[in-house]
Amino acid sequence: MLKPVFMAMRSEAEEALMDRRFGFRLVRTEPFEVWRNDTRLVILSGIGLVNSSMAFAWAAKEFEFESAFNVGAAGATDIARDGLEYGGVYAVAKVACMEPYNDREFALAENGKTLATSSRPVVSYEDRKKAARLGELVDMEGYAFAAAAELFGKKLEMVKIVTDFSSECVISENILKLRHKLARLDNIWI
């Protein structure tokens, strides 16, 4: 049984997808880009809560699987206080949401960081303070993946790399600089 790896953007997955050790090949381009090897499906959801929930729901109907990964970029809500580092790769234990009417918290693992999810980029100091009340990390997809996984009765593991740590950084450039670290996580890809 193949295990899906959900990622928001191809730029996050590119290095792993092109690494010959993992043997990925493109198998679908619509409604989501899907890559596959002998043990994994990499499903590129697109950015945001809606895209992630739709990608997970589509995959749950399209493929048979018991558990999945969500791997990708995240911001640090307070890099100094929480002991996080730029380029650090962290397991996620809990996921919460910054948006109104999404007040559930999902437990994914016993150990790891807590992830806050927002429907829009969290760049201002004020937004980072709000996110920090919920978790050490912040992204735009994790909560939707966790909610969809629970709805479809699937186990979800989440791993995030800190690419965003201040309002001055350029997230897309940092993802390109750091995606090699994600490609080194062999247990994700094989």
CATH of the domain at 24: 3.40.50.1580
Domain that holds residue 133: 3-183
Instruction: Quote the number of domains for the chain.
Output: 1
pLDDT for 80: 52
58: in domain: yes
Q: How far apart are CA 128 and CA 98, in angstroms?
A: 11
Most confident of 95-109, 121-135, 170-184: 95-109
Q: How far apart are CA 179 and CA 162, in angstroms?
A: 11
Task: Quick: pLDDT tens for 53-74.
Answer: 999 999 999 999 999 999 999 9
Residue 5 has pLDDT above 80, yes or no: yes
- Quick one: average pLDDT of 127-137? 91
Split at pLDDT 50, 70, 90, the class of 144 is very high
Under 8 Å between Cβ of 131 and 118: yes
Number of CB atoms found within 10 A of residue 81's CB = 10
190: in domain: no
177: in domain: yes
- Quick one: average pLDDT of 11-23? 96
141: in domain: yes
189: in domain: no
Task: Quick: pLDDT tens for 76-120.
Answer: 887 655 678 889 999 999 999 999 999 999 999 999 999 999 999
The structure tokens listed for 100 are: 């109104």
Under 8 Å between Cβ of 75 and 150: no
Q: How far apart are CA 75 and CA 161, in angstroms?
A: 8
117: in domain: yes
- Quick one: average pLDDT of 169-186? 87
pLDDT for 99: 95
High-pLDDT (> 70) share of the chain, %: 97
Residue 181 has pLDDT above 80, yes or no: yes
Q: How far apart are CA 26 and CA 149, in angstroms?
A: 24
